[in-house]
């Protein structure tokens, strides 16, 4: 288990004790992304038994994990955010799931809000999906609407993507898929990885019998132009890298138009920095076409979306913002998990 840290001494002080207490069968490692705070001295003094991987610079979330995991020998990796509180017996259901089904490459627990413990948390909730134009959403979380946990997602089921806040993954599958996309830096990287894993024939799962609590926004606040830039740039790259050839142009360019609609809404609200962030995101996406094309060509296959578990062939954006459907169960989705034909 690797916790990637960057200037997160307060999170380590608050949450590392629960991780150590409730993870007796796992080796807990902290990888430090060249923090400028006192994270490393704190760990050396308070937790000398915890192995430290010291990275020479801040590689970001994606390459930071790639660099750290190259130094870890394990059958399974757990990528755990530093602002996550774990609970008793949280490991066993997920490890058992991986051991029982070799086709499952990655999985996640139930992600609930640390600050509103009765509700799901934004980053992952009860498993991730993508709509017809590549917009991510979760059971338990549609855009900014978070559901109360009433046991409605206590099941075990396939999903499109598992959250990077608490990601269990086979080490062999991680490297077979090429690890996290370093150019993403952060945001949507787990969706890209899970999509590549599905293209390789693996499955992604959610397990509702394991629960963790996530603070969220520990590095970047929810409303932040940098976050907007990363989400829009990475969202376009995500589609370009992974869509099947026959679907690429239609879905990608529709999505880019919808991004423009989002920018227009920010403009009408006077949120100029968000508008600039979306413009910069598109500009950098097109400027990086050579790189993204190379990454696309490196993939062995891009499957049609109808063969991907958790791809929803309707626009969730339309259903949420126009039809007012605010929960997963309210969505007009005939089959919420398209299965391979």
Instruction: Work out how many domains the chain is built from and give that number.
Output: 2
Residue 338 has, within 13 A of its CA and on its CB side, a CA count of 19
Q: Are residues 32 and 145 in the same domain?
A: yes
Q: Are residues 21 and 132 in the same domain?
A: yes
Q: Are residues 180 and 301 in the same domain?
A: no
Q: Are residues 272 and 210 in the same domain?
A: no
pLDDT for 300 equals 79
Helix H or strand E segment including 62? helix 60-69
Which of the pair, 217 or 28, is modelled with greater confidence? 28
Q: Are residues 173 and 31 in the same domain?
A: yes
Average pLDDT of the segment spanning 107-131: 97
pLDDT in tens, 2-35: 999 999 999 999 999 999 999 999 999 999 999 9
Q: Are residues 161 and 48 in the same domain?
A: yes
Order of strands across the sheet that contains 128-130: 128-130, 136-138, 141-142, 145-146
Residue 339 lies in a domain: no
pLDDT for 216 equals 85
Q: Are residues 163 and 261 in the same domain?
A: no
pLDDT in tens, 58-106: 999 999 999 999 999 999 999 999 999 999 999 999 999 999 999 999 9
Q: What is the mean pLDDT of the chain?
A: 94
pLDDT for 220 equals 47
Task: Give the residue from 194, 214, 234 where a domain finishes.
Answer: 214
Least confident of 115-124, 157-166, 218-227, 302-311: 218-227
Q: Are residues 170 and 257 in the same domain?
A: no
Q: Is 95 in contact with 124 (CB distance < 8 Å)?
A: no
Q: Considering the entire predicted model, what is its pTM?
A: 0.94
Q: Are residues 122 and 171 in the same domain?
A: yes
pLDDT for 336 equals 44
129 beta partners: 137
- For residue 318, give its domain range: 225-330
Q: How far apart are CA 34 and CA 161, in angstroms?
A: 29
pLDDT for 335 equals 54
Q: What is the CATH number of the domain that holds 193?
A: 3.90.550.10
pLDDT for 217 equals 62
């Amino acid at each position: 288990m690797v916790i990637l840290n960057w200037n997160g001494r307060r999170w380590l002080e608050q949450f590392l004790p629960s991780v150590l207490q409730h993870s007796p069968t796992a080796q807990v490692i902290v990888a430090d992304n060249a923090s400028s705070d006192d994270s490393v001295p704190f760990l050396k003094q308070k937790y000398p038994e915890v192995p430290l991987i010291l990275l020479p610079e801040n590689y970001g979330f994606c390459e930071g994990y790639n660099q750290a995991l190259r130094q870890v020998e394990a059958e399974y990796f757990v990528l755990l955010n530093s602002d996550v509180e774990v609970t008793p017996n949280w490991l066993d259901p997920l490890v058992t799931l991986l051991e029982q089904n070799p086709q499952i490459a990655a999985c996640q627990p139930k992600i609930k809000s640390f600050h509103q413990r009765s509700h799901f948390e934004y980053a992952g909730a009860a498993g991730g999906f993508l709509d017809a134009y590549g917009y991510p959403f979760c059971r338990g979380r549609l855009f900014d609407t978070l559901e109360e946990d009433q046991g409605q997602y206590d099941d075990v089921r396939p999903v499109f993507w598992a959250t990077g806040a608490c990601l269990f993954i086979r080490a062999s599958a991680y490297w077979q898929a090429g690890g996290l996309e370093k150019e993403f830096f952060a945001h949507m990287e787990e969706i890209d990885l899970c999509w590549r894993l599905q293209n390789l024939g693996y499955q992604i799962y959610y397990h509702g019998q394991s629960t963790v609590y996530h603070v969220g926004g520990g590095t970047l606040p929810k409303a932040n132009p940098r976050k907007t830039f990363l989400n829009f740039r990475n969202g376009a790259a995500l589609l370009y890298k992974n869509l099947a050839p026959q679907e690429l142009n239609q879905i990608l360019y529709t999505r880019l138009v919808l991004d423009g609609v989002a920018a227009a809404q920010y403009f009408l609200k006077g949120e100029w920095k968000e508008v600039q962030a979306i413009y910069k995101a598109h500009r950098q996406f097109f400027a990086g076409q050579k790189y993204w094309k190379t990454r696309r060509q490196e993939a062995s296959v891009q499957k049609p979306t109808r063969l991907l578990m958790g791809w929803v062939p309707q626009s969730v954006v339309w259903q949420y913002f126009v039809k007012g459907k605010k929960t997963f169960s309210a969505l007009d989705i005939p089959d919420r998990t398209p299965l391979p034909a």
